[in-house]
Amino acid sequence: MTDTHPLPLKGIRVAEFTHMVMGPTCGMILADLGAEVIKIEPPGGDRTRNLPGLGIGFFRSFNRNKKSVVLDITTEGGQAAAVELIGQCDVVLENFRPGLMAKFGLDYQTLSARYPRLVYASHKGFLPGPYEKRLALDEVVQMMGGLAYMTGPSGRPLRAGTSVNDIMGGMFGVIGVLAALRERDVTGKGQEVQSALFENCVFLCAQHMQQYLMTQEAPPPMPSRVSAWSVYDVFTLADREQLFIGAVSDRQFAILCQVLGRQDLLERPEYADNAARVAVRPQLLQELGDILREHALADLAPRLEAAGIPYAPISRPDQLVQDPHLKQSGGLAPMQTDDGGTTDVVLLPLMLGNRRPGVRMPLPKVGEHTEEVLRMAKGAIHPD
């Protein structure tokens, strides 16, 4: 994006005191949308930079387009420098355990007395209530919030395969920040925004809660659900390839039969319409499974697409790196890493007009912008 098309949050300055996924996601989205986001790291850098295993990609995934400043906020000097910097900012983000920012004099109540226009976003495990002082992880709230129960087979709760609540919590943090900034335009005053993992997860399960309230029957886990559609499942094809197919109307079922060369299925009274097919769904899926085992994915997929039948191959994350749609639509973009290399990163799943918010800055080295940012903070005059 060029200066002739400035990003919508240009001119907004953010001080980010976060780690792991939830808070950094909020900061990254604000940064992608044009805000100047200053990530405050402890001496030695955010420990998320060096996580092993499934955490190895956290820092690169959620910290682009930010500046890095090292401050030891456990010391009086670090706290004073942080307060001075915050005075130049519109927004503060934090996702530390309850009470930690207050211990360092960096909580909303303390800061807002000095900077009443400040918008302060806290990312927590729980919103205020009986659970608010508990520590939480994405997996903890998935177990508490109904998601693990609904995802796994009966008796085998299963967490989702990515940090859905952490990422969603960061997104709701952004929504709250944008709303608070808009309200500040009217009132002249900032406010505290809170986003929480548990409440995110409950929101994800709201439809199942409402199902219970309407029927007084506990919804079964998704693998045990009674499908509303007769053909809505994963099938094993030739060479053990897998494909999801969803035929959710009588018309789509008829087209699927034509694609498979089995129009004779349409003459069967038990397959006359969707309601009839749902009544004998196990039989139908067994029959379709036998038919589909004779078809290869490379041959069947283009025919399903041409016919307008919803389908999806079962893709792994490593395969998505070469996904033709992501590559050609601009969903992946190169980013210079903090070690001088280059990697592809996944951009925000949105467009602004015909523009895709992208990578504007290399991933920052630890403390790369400390001198620059703190020098500006010391020389600033604070109207508040």
Contact 305, 312 (CB under 8 A): no
- Tell if the pTM clears 0.85, that is, is over it: yes
Quick one: pLDDT at residue 383?
A: 41
pLDDT tens sequence for the chain (384 residues): 445 578 999 999 999 999 999 999 999 999 999 999 999 999 999 999 999 999 999 999 999 999 999 999 999 999 999 999 999 999 999 999 999 999 999 999 999 999 999 999 999 999 999 999 999 999 999 999 999 999 999 999 999 999 999 999 999 999 999 999 999 999 999 999 999 999 999 999 999 999 999 999 999 999 988 788 999 999 999 999 999 999 999 999 999 999 999 999 999 999 999 999 999 999 999 999 999 999 999 999 999 999 999 999 999 999 999 999 999 999 999 999 999 999 999 999 999 999 999 999 999 999 999 999 999 877 664 444
Letter string b/e over residues 148-179, b meaning 16 or more CB atoms within 10 A of that residue's CB: bbbbbeeeebbbbeebbbbbbbbbbbbebbbe
Six-digit token string for 290: 């036998």
| Distance separating alpha carbons of residues 261 and 32, to the nearest angstrom | 49
Question: How many other CB atoms are there within 10 angstroms of residue 261's CB atom?
Answer: 9
Measured in whole angstroms, the distance separating CA 372 from the mean position of its chain's CA atoms is 31
Residue 70, strand partner residues = 41
| Distance separating alpha carbons of residues 320 and 218, to the nearest angstrom | 36
Phi, psi of 126 (to 5 degrees): -140, 145
Supply the DSSP string of 348-380, one letter for each residue: PS--BTTB-----SPPPPTTTTHHHHHHHHHT-
| Distance separating alpha carbons of residues 256 and 130, to the nearest angstrom | 52
DSSP state of 260: T
| Distance separating alpha carbons of residues 156 and 143, to the nearest angstrom | 11
Contact 15, 85 (CB under 8 A): yes
Quick one: pLDDT at residue 328?
A: 94
Contact 122, 193 (CB under 8 A): yes
Quick one: pLDDT at residue 225?
A: 82
Superfamily for domain range 227-318: formyl-coa transferase, domain 3 (3.30.1540.10)
Contact 19, 51 (CB under 8 A): no
Quick one: pLDDT at residue 380?
A: 60
Q: β-strands 342-346, 332-336: how paired? A: antiparallel
Quick one: pLDDT at residue 2?
A: 43
Q: Which residues contact 276 (CB under 8 A, 6 or more apart)?
A: 269, 270
Distances, alpha carbon 52 to alpha carbons 48, 57, 58, 81, 335, in Å:
9, 9, 10, 32, 21
CA dihedral (224, 228, 234, 236) positive or negative: positive
Q: What is the CATH number of domain 13-205+326-378?
A: 3.40.50.10540
Residue 236, strand partner residues = 242
- Indicate the domain borders of the chain: 13-205+326-378, 227-318
